[in-house]
Structure 1
Amino acid sequence: MATALSGLAACGGGGGSSSEAAAPAPVPAATPATAQAAAASVVRRLEVPAALDDPPFDSARDLTVPPGFGIRLWARVQNARFMALAPNGDVLVSVPSEGRIVLLRERANDVPQAFDYVTGLRNPHDMVFHRIGETTYLYIAESHRVSRSVYRGDETSRNASEVVVDNLPDNSTPELQGTYGHQLKNIALSPDNRLYVSVASTCNACTEDTESDPVRGAIYQYSADGRERRLFARGLRNAEGLAFLPGTSTLWVAVNNRDEIRVPVDADVDGDQSSDLGKLIPSYVDQNPPELFTSVRDGGNYGWPFCNPVPNGAMSALDLLPDYELNRNGGTFSCAAADRSAKGIRAHSAPLGFSFLHGSALPAAFRKGAAVAQHGCWNCTRLDAGYKVSFFPFDDAGNAGAEFDLVSGFVLNPDRREVWGRPVDTIPDARGNLLVSDDFAGAIYQLYPLR
């Protein structure tokens, strides 16, 4: 039976970053692609093992994928959010709402075996495996702290951990009075062993977050052991995904921008022959402001909440306009001084986790780009923004090209607001497949190349 989307939190109401894992096993070297990566164009019936066919998978489900790929339901994890690939090929899945992390281990001719890897956490979200010298650490971001443990191969429960960053703002922070719309934390570690933590906004658009300590709507940098805190970049409302472009020290993020934006210019948007300046016009809100997929520079300011990006045909190097409510006519902050994003994604698509596929064992055509999970719009007039996994090809200079769909088909009826799935995160596994988590259907899908 179709499941209607209703009563969900706002776009970006929590989320996390791309998980970076140590290489699980030797994989084919990234070679020049003999064919260009192809967009989703083939409808495939989702393969569902009998052991996993509870709703919504008691009915046939179809997804659109690139030629040469199939897709199957790999595992069920209710409220599954972010994933991380362990060095031995196991997959960790965070379940913030239950305070636990699940470990999935493949079995021959069976669905993966599931273990409660760690329980009793406070909103665990993002997870990163990172090697320093001869030691592999697992970093886990809870809503109020980041901890790490030493990873030992084939473990099914977490070793003793140490807190490296504590007292991050969340719903328990007294000044927030129990209200923090984006309290889930997202992290990344750099090649030079620096820890990056995204502290998302508490609001849709407000000035309080720009004056708090720590600044919210920002990314902080620490040493790997949690010392040497400093503000790295700001003006990023809700940086859900964080990852370093392989082979570089360039941090990339996926950002959920604001909702309910008022028309910032003296123009007739709805065609009624009168100015719509300062009005909430549904057709304008549906398309503005774009979400961001961008590299982030040290010291950068990307404009939120004072400036909003404007979509253009290429969805690249987006101009910014002053926010009507908080920066009318640019009197508070000069949008000309804000950093431009590398790429835009359609407004309210809610990009969450993403992974660079450069070092993966996926087919060569996909080994130079990023797969981005888009959770989907909650309040658009039609549910046709997001609800998919998209792909950004990258060139040798580290520039992102034009976005195209990789997996789509989770929307049953955009006008009746019916969907059956919402992608959250995507990571390559150890065997050349792409895993996609879904917190709405409680599922992990496996996009696999047909052999």
Structure 2
Amino acid sequence: MNARPLGLLLLGTAWLALAACGSGGDGDSGPTPPPTSTPTPAPTPPAASVAVPVEVPPLLAAAPFDVARQVTVPPGFGLRVVARIDGARFMAEAPNGDLLVSQPDSGRIWRVTPDGATNVYATGLHRGHDLVFHEVGNTQYLYIGETDRISRTEYVDGDATSRARGAIITNLPDASLPELNGAYGHALKNIAFAGSTLFVSIASASNADPADILATPKRGAIYAFDENGGGMRLYAQGLRNAEGLAIHPVTGELWAAVNHRDNVRYPLKDGRFPYKALDPAYYNDNPPEPFTRVRDGGNYGWPYCNPTADAGPDNLPYYLDVENNEDQQVLDCGGLDRVSKALPAHSAPLGMSFWTGGNVPDTWRNGAVIGLHGCWNCTVPRGYKVVYLPPRADNGFGDPQDLVTGFLADPADIASRWGRPVDVIPNRAGNLYISDDHAGAVYELYRK
């Protein structure tokens, strides 16, 4: 099935376990037991295996599409450029089918209509990032995650520009905090709704500084609010930079895709590496990036404990962080909520959605789709692709499968990158929109 094309305008601008670190919830609820039976997997879709050209309308063919580009996708799919938006980040499909795309560095949101029209939808945002539609009573709102606030604006089908916008949550931490001296590494805010509960991810300002988790509010945490911005409470902590937030389509639980720390030192005294060594042969593959169910009251360890996939990619235990928690003097790593699934280390998961909707084929329905933005300092590239995780009968997910690859012209050379996926969302046609802040593009992964 082909979706309607969008805008044609160029817009500027190996398996060891640490016995001391077991599974569990926090000290209040006790450990989370492992599954008592082997999950029955859902039907597995075909892996990405077909090379196809990126389809680019002539008016959108500026660099990097001034030369032919090719990606690898599952059989029966194609990828087309539907808009050019410099620095395109997070997206939301409006109730009427328009696509809204955030452009944090300009403080703008762009609108792309199904018939090809493109315009600036909103301006003056404090690096507006994540976008979510949510209805309160009979009023439809667009909620916007800004660096220091969450704002919203009433939305009526067909609105070409934003109506009056008001902040419902203010004073969120940003680079203006005196203690940060103007440096906040992950200031952009991400949001999600479960019923009338608004979740806000407040990411860390650092790689692994305990000052973040000791701050008020905590940085490296998710907070819950009511839909009008009140009732703030800590929902979960120890999540360094949870950019991908989405609600599980079956259980209604919050799930997150998280950017974990870099440059981790070797935490064991087993001779595999020197104790406390900063060795690229270890840190290139550690710690894994978490993709996890987020429990109310949960603690996921950062910056004191790091998840490990040494015993497999599911239900991850933890190793202590030798820089911040040597001998577990600060936090018992055995009392933490286990991470549900490992994603490749340093792959930088950003946007995450569940592939839902009436037009999604059963083969793909309810799987997770995640944009892996790609590492910046790996000796071998990680990420730079979109992955799909098939749903399982236990409401967890299978291992990530490549969905769209090819954003590196040479898979072994980061310098060859021409694109970096950010957000991935389903549209009403059952296809996927993918944003790319490096190429300045929005794509549609569509079924032919």
Q: Do the structures match in fold with TM over 0.5?
A: yes
CA distance in 1: counterparts of 2:181 and 2:359, whole angstroms: 47
Find the counterpart in structure 2 of residue 26 from structure 1.
none
Identity %: 49
- Is the aligned partner of 1:142 residue 2:150? no
What is the match of residue 303 of structure 1? 301
Q: Secondary structure at the match of 2:277?
A: coil
Tell me the residue number matched to 1:158: 162
Measured against aligned partners, the alpha-carbon deviations of 1:382-434 in whole angstroms (never above 9, x if no partner) come to 11x11000011113442112211110111122444221110000111222221
* CA distance in 2 between partners of 1:430 and 1:416 (Å): 36
Contact 1:360/1:367, CA 8 A, preserved across alignment = no
Q: Distance in 1 between matches of 2:92 and 2:166?
A: 19
Q: Distance in 1 between matches of 2:57 and 2:360?
A: 23
Deviations, residues 190-209 of structure 1 (Å, cap 9, x unaligned): 12x01110000010001111
SS of the aligned residue for 2:140 comes to: strand
- State the one-letter code of the partner of 2:278: L
Q: Which deviates more from structure 2 when the two are superposed, residues 293-302 or residues 361-370?
A: 361-370
- Aligned ranges for residues 15-414 of structure 1 at < 5 Å? 36-107=44-115, 112-191=116-195, 193-269=196-272, 276-312=274-310, 314-383=312-381, 385-414=382-411
**Could you tell me how far apart the structure 2 residues matched to 1:434 and 1:249 are?**
21
- In the alignment, is the contact (CA less than 8 A) between 1:436 and 1:444 conserved in 2? yes
The aligned residue for residue 15 of structure 2 is none
**Residue in structure 1 matched with residue 14 of structure 2 by the alignment:** none
User: In structure 2, what is the Cα distance between the partners aligned to 1:409 and 1:289?
Assistant: 25
Contact 1:262 1:285 in 2 (8 A): yes
C-alpha contact 1:246 1:356 (8 A) present in aligned 2: yes
CA distance in 1, matches of 2:312, 2:359: 30
1:133 deviates by 2.9
Q: Which amino acid aligns with 2:227?
A: A
Deviation at 1:161, TM superposition (A): 2.1
Secondary structure at the counterpart of residue 121 of structure 2: strand
Q: Please report the TM-score for the alignment, with normalisation by the length of structure 1.
A: 0.88
Question: Which ranges of 4 or more aligned residues in structure 1 deviate by more than 6 Å?
Answer: none
Distance of 2:175 and 2:87 partners within structure 1: 20
Structure 1 residues 210-254: Cα deviation after superposition (integer angstroms, max 9, x where no partner): 211101100000111111110000000000111111243300000
Whether the 8 Å contact between 1:194 and 1:221 is mirrored in structure 2 is: yes
2:356/2:430 contact within 8 Å kept:
no
SS of residue matched to 2:316: coil
Measure the CA separation in 2 of the matches of 1:321 and 1:395.
27
**Cα gap change, 1:313/1:389 in structure 2, threshold over 3 Å: closer, same or farther?**
farther
Alpha-carbon distance between aligned partners in 2 of 1:424 and 1:359, rounded to the nearest angstrom: 21
Deviation at 1:313, TM superposition (A): 6.1
CA separation in 1, counterparts of 2:310 and 2:171?
Answer: 40
Give distance in 2, aligned partners of 1:284 and 1:397.
Answer: 32
1:329-366 deviation line (CA, Å, top 9, x unaligned): 21211000111011010100000001111225232211
CA distance in 2, matches of 1:246, 1:368: 7
Question: Contact 1:91–1:105 at 8 Å: present in 2 too?
Answer: yes
Q: Does structure 2 retain, via aligned residues, the 8 Å contact 1:47–1:71?
A: yes
Task: Give SS of 2:246's match.
Answer: strand
Deviation digits for residues 37-86 of structure 1 (CA, Å, limit 9, x no counterpart): 22211111111111111010011111000111111111111100000010
Q: Provide the rounded CA distance (Å) in 1 between the counterparts of 2:386 and 2:306.
A: 24
In structure 1, what residue type is equivalent to 2:114? E
Q: State the secondary structure of the residue aligned to 2:371.
A: strand
Q: Which amino acid aligns with 1:253?
A: A
Contact 1:363 1:449 in 2 (8 A): no
CA distance in 2, matches of 1:225, 1:445: 33
Q: Structure 2 counterpart of 1:280, which letter?
A: L
* TM-fit CA distance, 1:136: 1.3
Give the distance between the partners of 1:334 and 1:314, measured in 2 at CA.
21
Task: Describe the superposition over 1:274-307 as per-residue Cα deviations: whole angstroms up to 9, x where unpaired.
Answer: x511111011111000001111000000000000
SS of equivalent residue, structure 1 residue 170:
coil
2:237–2:298 contact (8 Å) kept in structure 1: yes
Instruction: Give the distance between the partners of 2:359 and 2:179, measured in 1 at CA.
Output: 47
Corresponding residue of 1:22: none
Question: Larger deviation: 368-377 or 243-252?
Answer: 243-252
Q: Aligned partners of 1:339 and 1:186: how far apart in 2?
A: 22
Unaligned stretches of 5+ residues in structure 1: 1-32, 270-274
Q: What's the offset of the Cα at 1:34?
A: 11
Aligned-partner SS, 2:186: coil
Change (3 A) 1:305 1:35: closer
Q: Indicate conservation of the 8 Å contact 2:356/2:426, yes or no.
A: no
Distance 2:244 2:363 in 1: 23
TM-score by length of 2: 0.88
Tell me the SS of whatever aligns to 1:208: helix
**Residues in 1 aligned to 2:73 and 2:146: alpha-carbon distance in whole angstroms:** 33
The secondary structure found in structure 1 opposite 2:179 is helix
Tell me which moved more, 311-320 or 238-247. 311-320
Does the 8 Å CA contact 1:314/1:402 hold for their aligned counterparts?
A: no
**Structure 1 vs Structure 2 CA RMSD:** 1.5
Aligned equivalents of 2:71, 2:103: Cα separation in 1:
25
